């Protein structure tokens, strides 16, 4: 959900915003809703608290979002849209396959292991039975955009002869599991602190090295003797 930066205004009164400032009001709502959801959880978060934080009325919120569910979905999408470009930027840098994959994984983890990201994931898991669409949004707007970056890197590695993999999509999913999902799961469960650390960076490097060794298994051996 992209929007141009706007000049902050202090509302003179609650209620309908001045004509032409509808986008400003939507951004204020989303900016106010995010910390309320993350601190209170989805169930406990109230539209009253969000309206008070945004400095607008509940009526204004419901004019833009049909329900609390709709508002939280918009918060998820905006959060993803704010963070995925950093991963896409890392993926766009040239270099050997191993370096590129490492950059993609590191950029992804720096986003996924942030305090806010872990809080969002915990809410999504907590509400999965009632609102499976929350998880679908995270997948469709987040993971679905990161996976092709990995797959493209693998395709180019095949073309350059750096690696040899038959199923790029499956191999890309394996990379997500080996280099990213484990770190996120540990933080989400509270077994590790959010954020990157020296130990996590070293572990990530070993994960990428292990993955690359597997991807090189299909390459011809140097000095190998062919069939007689």
Q: Do 26 and 112 sit in the same domain of this protein?
A: no
**Rounded Cα–Cα distance for residues 128 and 143 (Å):** 17
Residue range(s) defining the domain that contains residue 104? 73-215
Q: Is 34 part of any domain?
A: yes
CATH number of the domain encompassing residue 110: 1.10.357.10
Q: Do 133 and 200 sit in the same domain of this protein?
A: yes
Q: Do 101 and 43 sit in the same domain of this protein?
A: no
Q: Do 153 and 106 sit in the same domain of this protein?
A: yes
The per-residue pLDDT for range 32-82, each reduced to its tens digit, is: 999 999 999 999 999 999 999 999 999 999 999 999 999 999 999 999 999
Q: Do 109 and 177 sit in the same domain of this protein?
A: yes
Q: Do 56 and 87 sit in the same domain of this protein?
A: no
Q: Do 59 and 157 sit in the same domain of this protein?
A: no
Q: Are 148 and 162 in contact (CB under 8 A)?
A: no
Q: Is 7 part of any domain?
A: no
Structure tokens at 127: 């509400």
CA distances from 187 to 29, 59, 86, 116, 139 (A): 29, 38, 21, 12, 18
**Rounded Cα–Cα distance for residues 21 and 3 (Å):** 12
Q: Do 151 and 193 sit in the same domain of this protein?
A: yes
**Can you give the pLDDT at residue 152?**
96
Over 60: is that where the pLDDT of 2 sits?
no
**Rounded Cα–Cα distance for residues 41 and 43 (Å):** 6
**Can you give the pLDDT at residue 7?**
32
**Can you give the pLDDT at residue 184?**
96
Domain end marker among 65, 86, 108? 65
Q: Do 154 and 44 sit in the same domain of this protein?
A: no
Mean pLDDT of the residues in the chain: 88
Range in 3-7, 89-93, 135-139, 150-154 the model is least confident about:
3-7
The closest of 42, 189, 205 to 109, measured between CA atoms, is 205
Domain count, the chain: 2
CATH number of the domain encompassing residue 46: 1.10.10.60
Q: Three-class SS of residue 7?
A: coil
């Amino acid at each position: 959900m992209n929007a141009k930066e706007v000049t902050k205004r202090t509302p003179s009164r609650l209620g309908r915003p001045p004509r032409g400032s509808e986008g400003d009001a939507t951004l204020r709502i989303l900016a106010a809703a995010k910390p309320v959801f993350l601190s209170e959880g989805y169930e406990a978060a109230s539209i009253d608290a969000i309206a008070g934080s945004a400095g607008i009325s509940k009526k204004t919120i419901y004019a833009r979002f049909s329900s609390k569910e709709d508002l939280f979905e918009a918060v998820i999408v905006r959060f993803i849209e704010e963070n995925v470009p950093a991963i896409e930027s890392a993926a766009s840098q040239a270099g050997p396959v191993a370096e590129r994959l490492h950059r993609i994984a590191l950029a992804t983890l720096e986003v996924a292991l942030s305090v806010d990201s872990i809080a969002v994931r915990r809410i999504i898991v907590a509400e999965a039975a009632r609102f499976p669409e929350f998880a679908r949004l995270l997948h469709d707007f987040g993971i679905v955009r990161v996976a092709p970056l990995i797959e493209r890197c693998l395709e180019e590695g095949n073309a350059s002869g750096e690696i040899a993999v038959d199923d790029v999509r499956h191999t890309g999913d394996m990379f997500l599991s080996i280099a990213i999902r484990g770190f996120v799961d540990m933080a989400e469960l509270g077994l590790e602190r959010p954020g990157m650390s020296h130990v996590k960076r070293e572990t990530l490097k070993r994960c990428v090295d292990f993955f690359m060794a597997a991807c090189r298994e299909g390459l011809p051996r140097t000095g190998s003797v062919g069939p007689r």
